Amino acid sequence: MSLEVSKSHDVGEQSPLHIEEPKKRPLKSIILVLLVLALGIGGNTLLRVLSPKPEKEEPSAATAMVRTAPVEVKSGAIGLEGSGFVRPRAEIVLAAQISGNVIYANPNLVAGGRVKEGEELVRVDDRPYRAALLQAQANLKSAEANLAFLEKQIERSKALGAKGFSAAEQLDQRENDYAQTAANIERLKASVIEAEINLERTVLTAPFDGQVRSEAIDLGSVVRPGVEVARLFASDYFEVVVPFETAEALLIPDLWEDDLSAVPPTAIITAQYGDNVFHWGGYVDRSEAGIDQETRTVDVVVRVPEPTQGGRASDEAFAGAPPPLLEGTFVDVLIEGREIDRQVIVPRVAFRNEGAIWVATAENTLKVYPATVLLERKEQTILDAPEVPDNADVITSEIEVVVDGMAVTRLAIEGDES
């Protein structure tokens, strides 16, 4: 099969395989287009050159919005704040050392009862012990009489022996009897002392001024050696153990000196009873040995003399009888620390980790001042910052980027309600 394409066609007919060549653009049109483009570019460039340039605006410096609080500057003894539980200086278990019937019990020998040093608390029937003492004394007297008799016999034997009327064996026997009787006398003397002690033990007395925590006997009870009679704790003075960081303990004058008791640092003990607050005076007595292994703190012992006396009420309008300081009470303690000439006191959040505080100046700029911590409290930090002005306002809010001298705007002064 062959495909034949005819080169000749009838008039008015066009072969489907015929391709018409594109018409050529005139040169004049191309030149016109280029001319228009050149004029557009030139005009735009001319407009940019001849138009006025906008003035450059310098970027404004960033102003930090800050909150401030006034610093407090003071001199004198630095106050060390702590807290702890009130405890007695001594607590004992009062126990019987002999057996017998209780024939007397002090009416104050009840839980909470107050007793005085040397006061009779319990008396056991002493008749068997008086009899035992009389028997021991009689035995001693009999032995002493026998010893005196043997001494005379020895002297007689010696005299007869010198004349040849007594054998040496008889003298030896009497001297042996004398030595054994003398030794027996010593044993009998010990028996008398023991009987006297047992007689004294029939009466139990208070070893100190104190209070009764609990009692375990009644009139007619039978006691035996080692049986608990009562529990007492001393109330002539109480103690409060206050833990301090080592840096705080260094601020207590002469804490580790041997003569601390000569002029001990004073303390104020504060306890709350309901809605009322009461205060007692005290002083630093000593520090306990070593550092607490769990808390890594120094335990300072504060003594409270005469805790049974009523405390001083904070509210002068309090009309009732002030309560005593009770054992086991949780109290706040303020100790008079070392004298420091200039203390700068700021809110705790105002001290920065890099050892500085930020102050908002009168010109509303930020000034960085170096500072060293003397003491940290719950809401305050006491600083050694000699360069900080007395009337400064410290910045308490956070700033992401701090530049010394940067502009600041105060939002408010903390504590200012106006």
Domain ranges of the chain: 72-87+236-413, 91-120+203-231, 126-201
The string of DSSP codes covering 134-183 is: HHHHHHHHHHHHHHHHHHHHHHHHHHHHHHT-S-HHHHHHHHHHHHHHHH
Q: Quick check: 148 and 131 in contact, CB under 8 A?
A: no
Q: What is the pLDDT of residue 216?
A: 92
What is the C-alpha to C-alpha distance for residues 404 and 402, in angstroms, rounded to an integer? 7
- Looking at the DSSP bridge assignments, the partners of residue 241 are 301
Helix (H) / strand (E) containing 305: strand 298-305
Residue keyed to tokens 């000569």: 262
Q: Are strands 276-287 and 266-273 parallel, antiparallel or unpaired?
A: antiparallel
Asked if residues 303 and 285 have their Cβ atoms less than 8 Å apart, the reply is: yes
Q: Where are the alpha helices (DSSP H) in 327-386?
A: none
Which three-class secondary structure state does DSSP give residue 316?
coil
Looking at domain 126-201, which CATH architecture does it have?
Orthogonal Bundle (1.10)
**According to the model, what pLDDT value does residue 50 have?**
66
CA distance 357 to 350: 6
Token pair 């004298």 in the structure block, residue:
339
Q: Residues in the chain, how many?
A: 418
Residue 239's nearest CA partner among 292, 296, 283 is 283
Strand order in the sheet with 393-395: 366-370, 356-360, 393-395, 64-70, 408-413
Q: Beginning with the edge strand found earlier in the chain, give each strand of the sheet holding 210-215 in spatial order.
A: 91-95, 228-234, 210-215, 114-115
- Cα distances from 296 to residues 2, 250, 363, in angstroms, run 113, 14, 45
226: which residues sit within 8 A by CB, 6+ positions away?
95, 96, 97
What's 91-120+203-231's CATH class? Answer: mainly beta
Distance of CA 282 to the CA centre of its chain: 17
Q: Where are the beta strands (DSSP E) in 161-295?
A: 203-205, 210-215, 222-223, 228-234, 237-244, 266-273, 276-287
pLDDT score, position 416 = 52
| Rg, C-alpha atoms of the chain | 52
pTM of this prediction? 0.68
375 in Cβ contact with 334 (< 8 Å): no
Q: Looking at the domain 72-87+236-413, which fold is it?
A: Elongation Factor Tu (Ef-tu); domain 3 (2.40.30)
Q: Tens place of pLDDT for every residue, the chain, 418 residues?
A: 343 434 444 444 444 444 445 555 566 666 766 666 666 676 666 566 666 665 554 444 568 899 999 999 999 999 999 999 999 999 999 999 999 999 999 999 999 999 999 999 999 999 999 999 999 999 999 999 988 888 888 787 777 766 666 667 777 787 888 899 899 999 999 999 999 999 999 999 999 999 999 999 889 899 999 999 999 999 999 999 999 999 899 999 988 887 666 789 999 999 999 999 999 999 999 998 888 888 899 999 999 999 999 999 998 888 889 999 999 999 999 999 999 999 999 999 999 988 999 999 999 999 999 999 999 888 899 999 999 999 999 999 999 899 999 999 998 555 554 4
Task: Read off the tokens for 396.
Answer: 């308490």
> What are φ and ψ of residue 15, in 5° steps?
-70, 140
Cα-to-chain-centroid distance, residue 239: 14
Q: Is 212 helix (H, G, I), strand (E, B) or coil?
A: strand
Q: Name the phi and psi angles at 38, rounded to 5.
A: -65, -40
Residue 12 has what pLDDT? 43
How far is residue 199's CA from residue 125's CA, in Å, rounded to a whole number? 10
CB 61, CB 221: distance < 8 Å = no
